[in-house]
Structure 1
Amino acid sequence: MQVWQSIVAAAALAAVCVVAGAGLEDEDIRGLDAEANGIRDDVDAWIAGQRFSAPQRLAAQQLARALQATFLLDPGNARAVLDAAEAAKQGVKCVIARRTTSAAGYRTVLDIEAITANSAPRKRAYRAYNAKLNGTVSRSPEGDGCEV
């Protein structure tokens, strides 16, 4: 990686961390969701602040909703974990499909993941979910993964 790429990547990560910190006073895993759309308000605000087209915004919301659900499930419920993983895969594929390049899509996926898992309790819940997927095998979803 070139030095300038490292600087740009560090600046982008710093910007994500500043925005992600917006919801840290609420240590509850669920967080605030005034619209009851399955997406925390701080994550909704971040998505709204991006220069996304309408289809890109819908894709970002789909992924954010899927990732938020991974924090709220019982990691001991194997069916719930696999269903959540399927929804997350669909969301990732949709975001990547709707961005102008796969690199831009991948960056958006990482940003949404960082913003969604922005506190210690959320990180622990996300790690517990991912630990239950350890050793599983999955396939890429059919189509573009988008719900709409």
Structure 2
Amino acid sequence: MDRSDDIKGVDADGNGVRDDIDRRIAAYPLTTEQKALLIKFAGAVEATHRTTQDDNSIAATVNELQKGIVCSAAAIPDYRSYVFELRAISLNTEARTKSYLQFQDKASGRRYSLVEESDC
């Protein structure tokens, strides 16, 4: 597991998800389509570290986080356990947790469109 000081960690394939998280998702007993949904969710969590103060950037990241949860819930029977584990792995250092909480602080108190299952 990547516990480096680098908030972004290693992403050799450039898919927006740290390699250790990619490996964890690959090990799940899920279909290729279900794993792809979790990769999108994990990418959205990782994007919180790169999101600027710009309202549009924050809204886009919040939308991707919501979509990751809604779409995973629609396709994976026990999605919560996967989503919670991936978020925990994504925020496995103090710097990553602080970065995520800073994003949450920037995103709170704003209005966002609700993601529907049909958006998946």
- Taking structure 2 as the reference length, what is the TM-score of the superposition? 0.92
Structure 1: gaps (5+ residues): 1-21
Structure 2 CA distance for partners of 1:108 and 1:145, relative to 1, 3 Å: farther
In the alignment, does 2:45 pair up with 1:71?
A: no
Identity, in percent, stands at 26
State the AA in 2 paired with 1:62. Answer: K
RMSD between superposed Cα atoms in Å: 1.4
Cα separation, 2, equivalents of 1:62 and 1:116: 13
CA offsets 1:53-110 (integer angstroms, 9 cap, x no match): 1121011001011111111122x2222111100011111111111112xxx1122111
State the AA in 2 paired with 1:138. Answer: Y
- Corresponding position of 1:89: 66
- Corresponding position of 1:99: 76
State the AA in 1 paired with 2:101. Answer: R
Cα separation, 2, equivalents of 1:123 and 1:28: 12
Pairwise CA distance, 1:144: 4.6
Q: Which of 14, 21, 27 does residue 36 from structure 1 map onto?
A: 14
Structure 2 CA distance for partners of 1:52 and 1:127, relative to 1, 3 Å: same
- Corresponding position of 1:134: 108
Structure 2 CA distance for partners of 1:39 and 1:66, relative to 1, 3 Å: same
- Corresponding position of 1:119: 93
In the alignment, does 2:40 pair up with 1:62?
A: yes
State the number of aligned residues.
Answer: 120
Cα separation, 1, equivalents of 2:35 and 2:118: 15
CA offsets 1:112-139 (integer angstroms, 9 cap, x no match): 1111111111111100000012222334
| 8 Å CA contact retained: 1:93, 1:144 | no
Cα separation, 1, equivalents of 2:7 and 2:46: 9
| 8 Å CA contact retained: 1:38, 1:69 | yes
Cα separation, 1, equivalents of 2:97 and 2:72: 22
Cα separation, 2, equivalents of 1:120 and 1:81: 22
Cα separation, 1, equivalents of 2:119 and 2:94: 30
Structure 2: gaps (5+ residues): none
- Which entry has the higher C-alpha Rg, 1 or 2? 1
